[in-house]
Amino acid sequence: MQPFVYDALPARVVFGSGTLAQLKAEAERLGVCRALVLSTPGRGEEQAYEVAAQLGDLSVGIHAGAVMHTPVEATEQALQVVKELRAGAVVAIGGGSTIGLGKAIALRTDLPQIVIPTTYAGSEMTPIFGETKGGVKITQRTLKVLPEVVIYDVDLTMGLPASIATTSGMNAMAHAVEALYARDRNPVISLMAEEGIRSLAGALPRIPEDPHDPTARSDALYGAWLCGTCLGAVGMALHHKLCHVLGGTFNLPHAETHTIVLPHAVAYNAPAAPEAMERIARALRAADAAQGLFELAGRLGAKQALRDIGMPEDSIEQAVKATLAAPYWNPRPLEEAALRSLLTRAWNGDPPQA
């Protein structure tokens, strides 16, 4: 056994079907009153009304102003609402965008957060906070943004369209995949990572087949919780760096970018992380980790080429340079030619190759 440091993060997780009904009791347990409900506009706002109704007299209102990648302008507007309504807590319902807004408020005010995730992105389990200022996304790690309570209600994920559920699930899996070869990996998080991949790999193909299958949705949400815990606990590597560069520079959609890049990043790292590859392949029930991920994405009907989600071909070079300019630690050293080939394959939608 390799030496390791295991740093457990505080978390209270309520998981199940119909768990939204426990929201008021959880808010009372935390001692919060005057809770402001946060969401994205549109469909998210409808769910926010449901949440506010559950909170009853503990709710002071709804702010449906969350925006992808947490621009500071959106945070400033929300802070104004917090001030006007004298909010004493935030309740975020939605995906990573809404959870990001809750974290932005908590960072600046120390207000407690209750989070009700409706996608599989995993932000709710992490002390990581990213925000965009002047078009540049900056990420920091601080316990100030870690939510006090996370309520996973499978019922709220039933309406997540299959196309979003599947790519969001692949995004979650990416956290667990990189946790298995992280520099600071440890046996507890590796157990969660393997179980998270196994649960998602089993559940995701069942969602497009039958979007109303509660077991598939429950298994996927359980896997997403485990994968989010991995993201919060250990460092990420090349795959997350590439997605950060591609999302930030070319404004590519978050979950789809993860889905396309993951098999290629895994193939790149395969020679340097054989034990992780064995565990990923075992969890996928596949002969090879990278090929298994590529085939899973194909089976899910996900887009498999960066060119199909809006990346211009002549920007591959820019992405290679940006990745090398500020690299994350990676099990295999970053080699310019191999990175160019990785991104070219991902751009074309070719199968992964080490």
The span of 30-38, 83-91, 119-127, 343-351 binding ligand NAD (CB under 6 A) equals 119-127
Question: CA 261, CA 241: separation in Å to the nearest integer?
Answer: 11
Contact 52, 59 (CB under 8 A): yes
The span of 104-112, 152-160, 178-186, 345-353 binding ligand NAD (CB under 6 A) equals 152-160
Q: Residue from 65, 88, 112, 122 that binds ligand NAD (CB under 6 A)?
A: 122
97 binding ligand NAD? (CB under 6 A)? yes
229 binding ligand NAD? (CB under 6 A)? no
The span of 54-62, 158-166, 181-189, 345-353 binding ligand NAD (CB under 6 A) equals 158-166
Nearer to ligand NAD, 198 or 244 (CB): 244
Q: Residue from 65, 71, 88, 96 that binds ligand NAD (CB under 6 A)?
A: 96
168 binding ligand NAD? (CB under 6 A)? yes
Q: Residue from 33, 85, 162, 164 that binds ligand NAD (CB under 6 A)?
A: 164
Q: Which amino acid is at 263?
A: P
225 binding ligand NAD? (CB under 6 A)? no
62 binding ligand NAD? (CB under 6 A)? no
Query: Cβ of residue 332: shortest distance to ligand NAD, in angstroms?
Result: 24
Nearer to ligand NAD, 16 or 351 (CB): 16
123 binding ligand NAD? (CB under 6 A)? yes
What residues contact 333, with CB distance under 8 A and at least 6 apart? none
Question: CA 239, CA 331: separation in Å to the nearest integer?
Answer: 11
- Structure token digits, residue 319: 């992405």
Q: Residue 285: exposed, middle, or buried by beta-carbon count in 10 A (0-12, 13-18, 19+)?
A: exposed
Contact 126, 232 (CB under 8 A): yes
> What are the backbone angles phi and psi of residue 97, rounded to the nearest 5°?
-65, -45
Residue nearest ligand NAD, Cβ-based:
96
152: left (phi over 0), alpha (psi -120 to 50) or beta: beta
What residues contact 302, with CB distance under 8 A and at least 6 apart? 163, 166, 167, 170, 256, 259, 260
Q: Residue from 170, 220, 255, 296 that binds ligand NAD (CB under 6 A)?
A: 255
Nearer to ligand NAD, 100 or 223 (CB): 100
DSSP state of 332: S
- Where b means 16+ CB within 10 Å and e means fewer, 78-95 reads bbebbeeeebbbbbbbbb
Query: Cβ of residue 153: shortest distance to ligand NAD, in angstroms?
Result: 10
254 binding ligand NAD? (CB under 6 A)? yes
Query: Cβ of residue 40: shortest distance to ligand NAD, in angstroms?
Result: 4
Q: Residue from 65, 71, 88, 94 that binds ligand NAD (CB under 6 A)?
A: 94
Nearer to ligand NAD, 106 or 283 (CB): 106
Length of the chain: 354
The span of 113-121, 205-213, 310-318, 332-340 binding ligand NAD (CB under 6 A) equals 113-121
Beta bridge partners of 59: 35
Contact 213, 190 (CB under 8 A): no
59 binding ligand NAD? (CB under 6 A)? no
- Structure token digits, residue 163: 């196309």
Among all chains, which residue has been given the structure tokens 């998981």?
15
Query: Cβ of residue 165: shortest distance to ligand NAD, in angstroms?
Result: 9
Contact 323, 339 (CB under 8 A): yes
Nearer to ligand NAD, 69 or 340 (CB): 69
Question: Which residues here bind ligand NAD, judged by CB under 6 A?
Answer: 40, 43-44, 68-69, 94-98, 100, 118-119, 121-123, 126, 128-130, 156-157, 159-160, 164, 168, 231, 254-255
